[in-house]
Amino acid sequence: MRSFARPGTVSVKNAAKLQAMRAAGRLASECLAWILAQVEPGMCTLDLDDLQMQFAKKHGVRPAPLGYKGFPRSICTSINEVICHGIPKATDVLREGDIVGIDVTLVVEEMHGDNAATIPVGQVEESTMRLLATTLAAQRAGIQAIVPGARVGDIGHAIQSIAEPRGYSVVRDFVGHGVGRRFHEDPQIPHYGSPGRGLRLRPGMTFTVEPMINQGVAGAEIQGDGWTALTADRQLSAQYEHTLEVTEEGVRVLTVRNDEGHWEPPGGYWPEGFGDSA
Ligand code: MF3
Ligand code: CO
Ligand code: CO
């Protein structure tokens, strides 16, 4: 989400709400995996939106983006130099060598599950795979920083520490966010930060970690449609997002299709250890 300057209160969720969050996270993850598995050269991004509509109908749930602050479609589809919030269109056709980010948010039992991943369309350049692997590794490091006593700044610091030494930049204009009955709530989770700084994480908080990592400069430009965010230099950008719950022990990834709490993206499309050596 776009970063905002508004101090607010951070909710700690009760057991019933956390149960609903888990259901929402799991279904969002199933939906994302199901859409990702169908991505092929020649499809348009509106086809992907249609898949989301089908899934939501079948499961009797609502896709949160549709109508959110005027967003016209049910998922976000962000090709190549689009950082985030791309609007599905019949004229945006996926070509071999592209990358596409798909961001799914479903409302289940009144709670939001928010899950995104970027995947290659067919074969892509080695340097593009390296961007994806680094972004995934950065997201994982950010999630692993969520331990008892940690602060929000530890998450962003961990993400920066993976991405920047490898020559990439971390987008600052969009941040992770608290998520629950509302799509976007406090706290904001920047994907950059200083260790030991910021809000202290407490069990029962639920928020996203969704780093956007750029090949070139960090800057973003919003297009005339009011949504599509492009990299300022038109180089590639990738993003992975999970919805997370802070627990007594550390963290639970809610956007997984089982309760194992792993943080690989859904669908099993990454080889074992992919991203570790990026
Ligand atoms: N799912 C996005 C996020 O991760 C928000 C999309 S807002 C929309 O926060 F309106 F474009 F759907
Ligand atoms: Co989000
Ligand atoms: Co999202």
Quote the crossing angle between the two packed helices 15-36 and 45-59, to the nearest 10°. Answer: 140
Q: How far apart are CA 10 and CA 130, in angstroms?
A: 36
What is the CA(45)–ligand 2 centre distance, in A?
A: 19
What is the CA(105)–ligand 3 centre distance, in A?
A: 6
What is the CA(116)–ligand 3 centre distance, in A?
A: 6
**Residues 8-36 pLDDT 10s:** 688 899 999 999 999 999 999 999 999 99
- Provide the residue ranges of all domains of the chain, joining segments of one domain with +: 15-250
Element (H, E) at 122: none
Would you say 28 and 243 are in contact if contact means Cβ atoms under 8 Å apart?
A: yes
Element (H, E) at 209: strand 206-209
Would you say 139 and 159 are in contact if contact means Cβ atoms under 8 Å apart?
A: yes
Q: Report the predicted TM-score, pTM, of the whole model to 2 decimal places.
A: 0.93
Would you say 136 and 274 are in contact if contact means Cβ atoms under 8 Å apart?
A: yes
What is the CA(255)–ligand 2 centre distance, in A?
A: 12
Closest residue by CA, ligand 1 atom 7: 65
Q: How far apart are CA 202 and CA 198, in angstroms?
A: 12
Q: What is the DSSP string of 1-63?
A: -B------------HHHHHHHHHHHHHHHHHHHHHHTT--TT-BHHHHHHHHHHHHHHHT-EE
Only one residue has tokens 């920083």, namely 145
Write down how long the chain is: 278
Ligand 1 pocket residue status of 33, Cβ below 6 Å: no
How many H-runs (helices) and E-runs (strands) does the chain carry? 4, 15
Both structure tokens of 101: 């980010």
**Residues 204-247 pLDDT 10s:** 999 999 999 999 999 999 999 999 999 999 999 999 999 999 99
Question: Dihedral of the CA atoms 241, 245, 250, 253 (nearest 10)?
Answer: -40
Q: How far apart are CA 141 and CA 201, in angstroms?
A: 16
Q: Which listed ligand is nearest to 64 at the C-alpha? A: 1
Closest residue by CA, ligand 1 atom 2: 1
Helices (H), 103-187: 126-144, 152-163
Q: pLDDT of the chain along its 278 residues, tens only?
A: 777 655 568 889 999 999 999 999 999 999 999 999 999 999 999 999 999 999 999 999 999 999 999 999 999 999 999 999 999 999 999 999 999 999 999 999 999 999 999 999 999 999 999 999 999 999 999 999 998 889 999 999 999 999 999 999 999 999 999 999 999 999 999 999 999 999 999 999 999 999 999 999 999 999 999 999 999 999 999 999 999 999 998 999 999 865 444 434 433 334 444 444 44
What is the CA(115)–ligand 3 centre distance, in A?
A: 5
Which of 62, 71, 76 to probe ligand 1 with, by most ligand atoms within 8 A of CB? 76
Q: In sequence order, what E strands does 70-157 have?
A: 76-79, 82-84, 99-108, 111-120
Closest residue by CA, ligand 1 atom 11: 85
Which of 103, 106, 107, 191 to probe ligand 1 with, by most ligand atoms within 8 A of CB? 103
Contacts of residue 69, defined as CB under 8 A and 6 or more positions apart, other chains included, come to none
CB atoms within 10 A of CB 182: 13
- Ligand 1, atom nearest to 70 Cα: 10
Ligand 1 pocket residue status of 85, Cβ below 6 Å: yes
Q: Fold for domain 15-250?
A: Creatine Amidinohydrolase (3.90.230)
Q: What distance, in Å, lies between the first and last C-alpha atoms of the chain?
A: 26
- Ligand 1, atom nearest to 87 Cα: 11
